[in-house]
Amino acid sequence: MRPKKRIEKAIKKKLNFTAGAELYDRMLDDILNTQEKTQKTISATIKPRIWRIIMKSSITKLAAVAVIVAAVTLSVAIVDKVTSPAYALEQTVEALKNVRFLHITGFDDAGQINDERWIEIGMDGWQVRYRQQNPTSIIQQHPDVPSMVIEDGESTAVYRDDKQAVIIYDRKDMQYQWIGELGEALENLRQKGKLLKENDVYQDQPAHKVWWPYLSAECYVDPQTKLPIAIGKTELSYEEPPAATFEITIPNGYVVLDKRPGAPETPMPQWFLDEENAQANKGKCFREGSLAFARGDYEDAALQFERSLGWDSWAPFWLGSAYYHLGRYDLAIENYNKEFDIWAKHDSNSKLPYCNYARGLAYAMSGDLDSAKADFQACLPAMIRTLQIPSSGNMFEYAENPLMRYGQYKPTERQMVVNMINRLRIVSGQNFGYNPSATDQENEPSIAAWEQWAESSGQIKFTPDAELIYIPETTNE
């Protein structure tokens, strides 16, 4: 549709009265003339700036600037809507395809960096090189945590300040990642991502708020570059890193423990052998605990997860859930608290709604209803959001079935919605209906009722005997 036709259509749609032919024509001419002048001015103004940005960064793309028209009061709204291109997730997907370097910086409440990573991304979307610097605070609390990890494309070096040692592995045997395959993450954004709010604000800067299922998080996108700039308190930028960022160097006085195939055989220190054996055993126990939990053997699951503590950040959570099923609610709460503590070390504002829900159930069953209500209120927004964006419930499913980690449990979007409605019935005592066999359109009144309840009341009422919906079976692979 040509610009004039679009504006004519907009005028007819927006006017609340029938304009005479003379007024109508005058308004249309004023809007078109002002639009043409504004576009010429914008082109002349931003052209040098675009050139400077392109010269500085090959991955930066500018969005079109919205035309501001003030010819008549009505024309401001009309021209802005007609000439300003709307943001679409596809734009972020396309912009990310050109990214070759990713700089990730996490901050604590005091504004100090507590996590920093540099990643080089290949043309195929896979990580090529990597560097991670752990904050001093974490190293002080956990001396065996690496102070730094560098992957140069062929080898991975793990720096252990507590042992004055650098352990070098073949990249195929040891790799650290923030996101695995960027291409998979982009396809996930394209197919299942959702624009939550266009033209929002992040730290006083314009930004679009987006739900990215692959990351299970809300992201803020720069309106100009179309690139994500923040996930929680973690900020993202895309500049090329300083020289030697991915270069493996050995500090003075440090010993090298070379574990790469073909490296000269040298005796490994006992501390290293002990740690290696301990980690292997913990990994085995973690998997055994996952399998025991999935088959309902919570005694064995608790035993195995207890032995696996320190191997994976999910171990305390599933240990807590095993204790919950055993009716040992105090131990469940204790381990859920550990899960919160683990994530808080990297982001004090980290949100774990699935953990709030699980801990809320444990509090409720132990008789501490006030603490339970606080937890349920904290996870309620994520629960309600799942009804419209099913992938928002992905972490709730992951938390309740460890087999999802191994690809042996893959809930459909309909199942995630049904499961979430059952959780909502338990924490609210409400029942707004929902038919898992009906169409999305037929279930719209039920979803709308839940959203209205959350906005108007959201009153928590723990109802362990709530009527639950039958959950369709899924195929485990």
Q: What's the pLDDT tens digit per position in 273-320?
A: 999 999 999 999 999 999 999 999 999 999 999 999 988 989 999 999
pLDDT at residue 191, as a whole number: 82
Spatial contact of 143 and 162, defined as CB atoms under 8 Å apart: yes
Helix H segments across 85-237? Answer: 89-97, 136-141, 182-192
pLDDT at residue 472, as a whole number: 61
Spatial contact of 147 and 127, defined as CB atoms under 8 Å apart: no
How many whole angstroms from its chain centre is CA 104? 13
Q: How buried is residue 432: exposed, middle or buried, by Cβ count under 10 Å (0-12/13-18/19+)?
A: middle
Spatial contact of 427 and 376, defined as CB atoms under 8 Å apart: yes
Q: Which residue type sits at 63?
A: A
Cα 395 from Cα 163, distance rounded (Å)? 37
What domains can be seen in the chain, in order of their start residue? Answer: 3-85 (no CATH), 87-266 (2.50.20), 270-456 (1.25.40.10)
Torsion of CA 430, 432, 437, 443, to 10 degrees: -140
Spatial contact of 453 and 430, defined as CB atoms under 8 Å apart: yes
pLDDT at residue 182, as a whole number: 66
pLDDT at residue 231, as a whole number: 85
Distances from the Cα of 221 to the Cα of 93, 204, 230, angstroms: 11, 13, 7
Cα 42 from Cα 409, distance rounded (Å)? 53
pLDDT at residue 180, as a whole number: 62
CA angle 73, 75, 76 (to 5 degrees): 75
Cα 200 from Cα 204, distance rounded (Å)? 9
pLDDT at residue 51, as a whole number: 24
Spell out, as residue ranges, where the chain has pLDDT lower than 50: 1-84, 475-477
Distances from the Cα of 409 to the Cα of 101, 284, 388, angstroms: 34, 20, 22
Cα 312 from Cα 285, distance rounded (Å)? 11
User: Given the structure tokens 């409720």, which residue do they identify?
Assistant: 364
Cα 150 from Cα 168, distance rounded (Å)? 9
